Structure 1
Amino acid sequence: MLHLGVIGAGYWGPNLIRNFASIDDVSLEQVADINKAALEKIKADYPGVRTTLDPHELLASDVDAVCIATSAPTHYELTREALLQGKHVLCEKPLTLKSEEAQELVQLSDERNLTLMVGHLMLYHPAIRKIKELIDSGKLGDLLYVNSIRVNLGIARSNENVLWSLTPHDLSMILYLFDNEMPLGLSAAGQDFLTPGIEDIVFVSLFFAANRLGHVRASWIDPTKIRRLKVAGSKGMVVFDDVGADSTLKFYDEWIEPKGDGGFEHHRNFTPHVYEIEKAEPLRLECEHFVQCVLEGKKPLTDGRNGLAVVTILERAQASLKEKGAYKSL
């Protein structure tokens, strides 16, 4: 049995609380939040769970593990304190706002033999797992590029740009599909329209070895909601439209083959194969994975090093943004 506490009951925390409260191997002991109204809601929904306005009280308690779902600037301090208190940690993305802080947390969790996992949710989506399976099986041939779009007329922020707020999902997916290989370098461009210095739209290009490419477009000032991942290989392509219950995963048995004489052979099949996507909530799978890793001593799919890799890319992309798309090596 895993005795667990959750810090953060605002925007995302209730979803984590709902899932952990329904897992058989978890005893949800306590929830902390600085908002009294949020805690009153938790008390009403989960009468047996203790609440506190002080996250340090929870961290000093006898829980085995904590889930941190607070604002990004607080992640480092809370995660560090949790690890020093001997707690296993699931921290929402991004793990930290500085790569040296993420590195410190990874080292601390290693030294204390504690599980450190980051909430890179999309890696637990059945469709993303299927795409990885298709790549690994050779069905797409050699991986050429991955293009991810995440746009909507969404929740704009004045204290965090769209790069740090939205793209961790896409960057973690791209790294996963490239076998966690770090890109050689990157370029990022964007623009601030609503709040000076806070980009509302970004374009990030990731340059991998062997002439392969990753690209992310993210915005919260787009008229349509699009969450689309395109994966192109030398022998086929995949398109995943992530639109909730109507999400689709399509394989296109199409590619262009160079003939060596300057010409090309076009292999076309206009009817894609549609894969069934397992009807499982990715967040539920993420929470179950964390519990399993703690109880069985397994390495998480999205461990601290995975979190460090994403923060490192974000950091370099932010530097590129400031220089209007300048290339930054990694």
Structure 2
Amino acid sequence: MKQVVVVGAGNWGKNLVKNFHELNALAGVAEMSSDLRQAVANSYPDLQVYADYRDVLNTDISAIVIATPAPTHYSLAKAALAAGKDVFIEKPMTLNTQDAIALAKYADQHDLILMVGHLLLYQPAIAWMRDYLSTGKAGKVLHVMAQRAKLGRVRAEENVWWSFAPHDVSVVLDLLGNPTLKSIQASGHAILQPDVEDNVHVDLVFENGQTAHIHASWYHPLLQRCTTILAEQQMLVYDEVTQQVTVYEKSIDTNLQNTDTGSWLANVATTQPLKLECEHFLECLKTRQQPRSNGWNGVAVVDILEKAQEAMRG
């Protein structure tokens, strides 16, 4: 059933257009740029293409997928929800926690589906680690480290923390079981432009004693995307570049002695996470179940993003 309109067909939006079209769920695309509208029309001649987002709200289409620049997310999502539409919104959900809470509350009050595009929560490797940790074989998770660095496309309208870190904040919260934040420390370095941090380090402490560290940089010589989990009995490392999860049989015993009995590679599926994410949204539309990355998951991520930004700026 074609029940989705994607708003925004640019850098990332075009991938959502492709996936929802392949899933036979795409009814149309809304895009302000005439060049992008023409590109969509050429690639998908069967689709309705809208120049004005408001025209979509007046149709019987049931769901809106928002893939526009982050500053527009709140107003577009608010309008879609007010029109009775279910909404998928790309990360970051909003640029402040107050707006994120408002959207999540509205969706709950009106029985609407609100899903945030925290793509890595649908990455098979992350799902494998989540399920494996739940078995208790690794012991209690003590600390998670996440690094997302490369020589990337530098923005002027947002810093690397808001651009890169939503992925890793969502993963940290997911792997730790969505704990309550206790405190946060952050430092950022604006190397290339005033007040636009290119390199950021953030330390998180949670009420249950678990901790996390996140490093984000788009001014870095190497492509490094890695998540490391330190647990009581084992250590897990997910290399996002090679798509491998390695489980290390390493720990420190009660006498503070090292134990090391080797390592092994996990058997992880290779399904593309974006396809799984789109399929999950469609399933939620059908069953009315809450998405894994629902509005409140989006709120939790934006809250940490915003608090880290405040800590960086003193």
- Judge same fold: TM > 0.5, yes or no: yes
Correspondence 1:228-247 to 2 at 5 A: 228-243=226-241, 246-247=242-243
Deviations 1:64-84 (A, max 9, x none): 001000000000000000000
What code does the residue aligned with 1:252 have? Y
- 1:250 maps to 246
Whole-angstrom CA distance in 2 between matches of 1:209 and 1:114: 31
Question: Is this contact kept in 2: 1:2–1:64, CA < 8 A?
Answer: no
Matching residue within 129, 145, 170 for 1:147: 145
Matching residue within 59, 62, 75 for 2:73: 75
Cα distance 1:112–1:210, how it changes in 2: closer, same or farther (>3 A)? Answer: closer
Whole-angstrom CA distance in 1 between matches of 2:40 and 2:7: 12
- 1:135 maps to 133
Whole-angstrom CA distance in 2 between matches of 1:154 and 1:318: 20
- 1:328 maps to none
- 1:266 maps to 258
Matching residue within 106, 109, 129 for 2:107: 109
1:320 aligns with 2:288: no
Deviations 1:272-314 (A, max 9, x none): 1101220100000000000000111111000000000111111
Matching residue within 179, 187, 190 for 1:189: 187
Identity fraction in percent: 38
- 1:33 maps to 31
Question: Is this contact kept in 1: 2:2–2:27, CA < 8 A?
Answer: no
What code does the residue aligned with 2:193 have? T
Report deviation, 1:56: 1.5
- 2:222 maps to 224
Report deviation, 1:58: 1.6
Bigger drift between 205-214 and 129-138 goes to 205-214
Report deviation, 1:2: 4.8
What code does the residue aligned with 2:299 have? L
- 2:161 maps to 163
Matching residue within 286, 290, 300 for 1:295: 286
Matching residue within 279, 283, 305 for 2:296: 305
RMSD (Å), alpha carbons: 1.0
What code does the residue aligned with 1:159 have? E
Question: Is this contact kept in 1: 2:31–2:53, CA < 8 A?
Answer: yes
- 1:277 maps to 268
State how many pairs are aligned: 314
Whole-angstrom CA distance in 2 between matches of 1:280 and 1:58: 31
Whole-angstrom CA distance in 2 between matches of 1:4 and 1:135: 35
Whole-angstrom CA distance in 1 between matches of 2:188 and 2:27: 43
- 2:83 maps to 85
Whole-angstrom CA distance in 1 between matches of 2:17 and 2:146: 29
1:23 aligns with 2:23: yes
Report deviation, 1:210: 3.7
Cα distance 1:39–1:255, how it changes in 2: closer, same or farther (>3 A)? Answer: same
Deviations 1:109-144 (A, max 9, x none): 111110000000000001001111121111111111
Whole-angstrom CA distance in 2 between matches of 1:75 and 1:50: 22
Whole-angstrom CA distance in 2 between matches of 1:225 and 1:112: 43
Whole-angstrom CA distance in 2 between matches of 1:21 and 1:279: 21
- 2:277 maps to 286
Where 2:3 maps in the other structure, the secondary structure is strand
Question: Is this contact kept in 1: 2:180–2:207, CA < 8 A?
Answer: no
Where 2:65 maps in the other structure, the secondary structure is strand
What code does the residue aligned with 1:102 have? A
What code does the residue aligned with 1:134 have? Y
Question: Is this contact kept in 1: 2:233–2:250, CA < 8 A?
Answer: yes
Report deviation, 1:59: 2.3
Whole-angstrom CA distance in 2 between matches of 1:61 and 1:7: 14
What code does the residue aligned with 1:175 have? L
- 1:327 maps to none
Q: Which runs of 5+ in 1 are unaligned?
A: 324-330
TM-score (norm 1): 0.93
What code does the residue aligned with 1:321 have? M
Runs of 4+ in 1 over 4 A off after TM superposition: none
